């Protein structure tokens, strides 16, 4: 089998990594923002300017000026819904007229339900220096299409798990000013698959699976300025270049394609986006604090999936940079009870004409409510609920199996994401010591 034929066969399958990290139901593309229950209650509208270890993911300066220690632990149950429907997807096998792709014409709820954990701890070593550690799951989800779905040639099963370990340090040179820095150490595991068409529509489909994992490194930096009732925060989180080493397994190809059934060692590299965040909190009264936050997300870094030997090629993704805007309020009803609410608008980085069924992403609105109960001087319980509404979006990225060979098989994708939404239920606890 020639190197060109091998590459064409594998590119169709290995490219599933691009989609599998792109269809989270609760933040733009594959970013999960559920790293603080308190933040979830106000739609993540003031985290870069808030204090405490629960805000470390957004700003390592959040622990500046601490005395003693504090810890946070929480989890969010994510319950997405939505339909990914076929409109007129066609397959063009060599020497044959375009034909309907067949299979189930509607895939209901392909994004699985799941639980996202998070936790952090911090300690003030001196009045000027504090250290902290946050453990989060910023890119974490599973999608599952049936084996006879109309989308099977671009999406089957996707399983992605990312753990981010963020050691942080904050310095407070003068009262009201804090600067911080952190490392982001990420471990990623993925298992991604899709089906491949055989040359005859009378034959069962072949199948391809990519499995890989890797450890990679990034960084964060931020600052906070407080003056009376006003706090301003700003931070930057770097893009991380991920490299997954693993295998591609191809099976079930018949006839002239049968020689391509094999297991091959390979790797794939891609970049997660950078994030630049600015936000403020203003205590307009002793009981009421207003929050606002703007995030510019550098999804343009996710421009391609680059495949190593023996493929040595790149798959374009062409994501765009996006904006996220959020506003919210904290209302202290009593010394024990605080209520929260907020709203957020988040853009999708996917583009019309380049969105496939494995990335059924769309612009969304996030409506949030939450509460905290101060059980004692040292322990508080947080709860939040989010309702996320997605705009309907086209599924319209044309692809091809065995591209560049005599058996090139285009898949002219025409579908739509419809009636998509998600409910997120979060529960957390904070403690000081």
Percent of the chain surpassing pLDDT 90: 80
Q: Is 228 exposed, middle or buried (0-12, 13-18, 19+ CB in 10 A)?
A: exposed
Residue 11 pLDDT grade (very low, low, confident, very high; cuts 50, 70, 90): very low
Q: What is the pLDDT of residues 48-93, one digit of tens each?
A: 999 999 999 999 999 999 999 999 999 999 999 999 999 999 999 9
Q: For residues 185-193, give the mean pLDDT.
A: 91
Q: What is the pLDDT of residues 364-411, one digit of tens each?
A: 999 999 999 999 999 999 999 999 999 999 999 998 999 888 999 999
Give the pLDDT confidence score for residue 9 in this predicted structure: 45
- pLDDT of residue 24 exceeding 80, the answer is no
Q: In terms of residue numbers, what domain contains 156? A: 3-432
- pLDDT of residue 276 exceeding 70, the answer is yes
Percent of the chain surpassing pLDDT 70: 94
- Which residues, in sequence order, are bridge partners of residue 385? 369, 425
Q: What is the CATH number of the domain that holds 131?
A: 2.40.160.60
The number of domains in the chain is: 1
Residue 3 pLDDT grade (very low, low, confident, very high; cuts 50, 70, 90): very low
Task: Classify the C-alpha dihedral 147-148-154-155 as positive or negative.
Answer: negative
- pLDDT of residue 314 exceeding 90, the answer is no
Q: What is the pLDDT of residues 325-369, one digit of tens each?
A: 999 999 999 999 999 999 999 999 999 999 988 778 999 999 999
- What pTM value is reported for the model? 0.92
Mean pLDDT, all residues of the chain: 91
Q: What are the φ/ψ torsions at residue 43 (nearest 5 degrees)?
A: 60, 35
Q: What is the pLDDT of residues 261-272, one digit of tens each?
A: 999 999 989 899
42 and 291 in contact (C-beta within 8 Å)? yes
For residue 62, the SS3 value is helix
- 191 or 336, which is more confident: 336
Q: How far is CA 56 from CA 9, 29, 112, in A?
A: 44, 22, 28
- Which residues, in sequence order, are bridge partners of residue 322? 297
Q: Residue 93's CB: how many other CB atoms inside 10 A?
A: 18
């Amino acid at each position: 089998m020639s190197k060109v034929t091998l590459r064409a066969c594998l590119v169709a399958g290995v490219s599933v990594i691009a989609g599998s990290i792109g269809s989270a139901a609760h933040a733009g593309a594959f970013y999960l923002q559920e790293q603080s229950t308190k933040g979830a209650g106000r739609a993540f509208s003031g985290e870069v300017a808030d204090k405490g270890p629960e805000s470390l993911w957004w700003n390592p300066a959040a622990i500046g000026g601490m005395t003693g220690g504090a810890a946070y632990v929480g989890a969010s149950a994510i319950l997405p819904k939505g339909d990914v429907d076929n409109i007129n997807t066609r397959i063009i096998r060599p020497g044959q007229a375009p034909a309907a792709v067949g299979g189930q014409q509607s895939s209901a709820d392909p994004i699985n339900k799941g639980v996202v954990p998070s936790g952090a701890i911090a300690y003030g070593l001196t009045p000027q220096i504090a250290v902290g550690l946050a453990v989060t799951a910023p890119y974490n989800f599973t999608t599952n299409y049936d084996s006879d779905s109309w989308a099977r040639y671009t999406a089957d099963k996707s399983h992605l798990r990312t753990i981010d370990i963020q050691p942080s340090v904050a310095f407070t040179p003068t009262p009201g000013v804090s600067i911080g820095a952190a490392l982001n150490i990420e471990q990623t595991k993925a298992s991604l698959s899709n089906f491949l068409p055989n040359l005859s529509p009378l034959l069962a489909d072949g199948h391809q699976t990519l499995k890989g994992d890797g450890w990679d490194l990034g960084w964060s930096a931020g600052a906070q300025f407080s003056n009376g009732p006003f706090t301003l925060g700003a931070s930057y989180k770097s893009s991380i270049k991920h490299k997954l080493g693993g295998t591609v397994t191809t099976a079930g190809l018949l006839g002239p394609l049968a020689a391509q059934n094999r297991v091959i060692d390979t790797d794939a590299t891609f970049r997660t986006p950078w994030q630049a965040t600015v936000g403020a909190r203003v205590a307009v009264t002793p009981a009421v604090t207003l929050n606002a936050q703007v995030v510019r997300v550098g999804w343009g870094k996710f421009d391609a999936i680059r495949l190593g030997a023996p493929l040595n090629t790149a798959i374009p993704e062409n994501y765009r940079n996006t904006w996220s805007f959020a506003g919210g309020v904290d209302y202290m009803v009593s010394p024990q009870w605080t209520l929260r609410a907020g709203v957020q608008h988040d853009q999708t980085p996917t583009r019309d004409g380049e969105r496939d069924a494995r990335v059924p992403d769309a612009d969304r609105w996030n409506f949030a409510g939450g509460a905290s109960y101060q059980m004692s001087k040292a322990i508080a319980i947080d709860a939040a609920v989010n309702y996320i509404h997605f705009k309907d979006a086209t599924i319209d990225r044309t692809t091809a199996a065995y591209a560049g060979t005599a058996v090139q098989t285009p898949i002219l994708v025409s579908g739509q994401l419809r009636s998509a939404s998600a409910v997120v239920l979060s529960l957390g606890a904070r403690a000081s010591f």
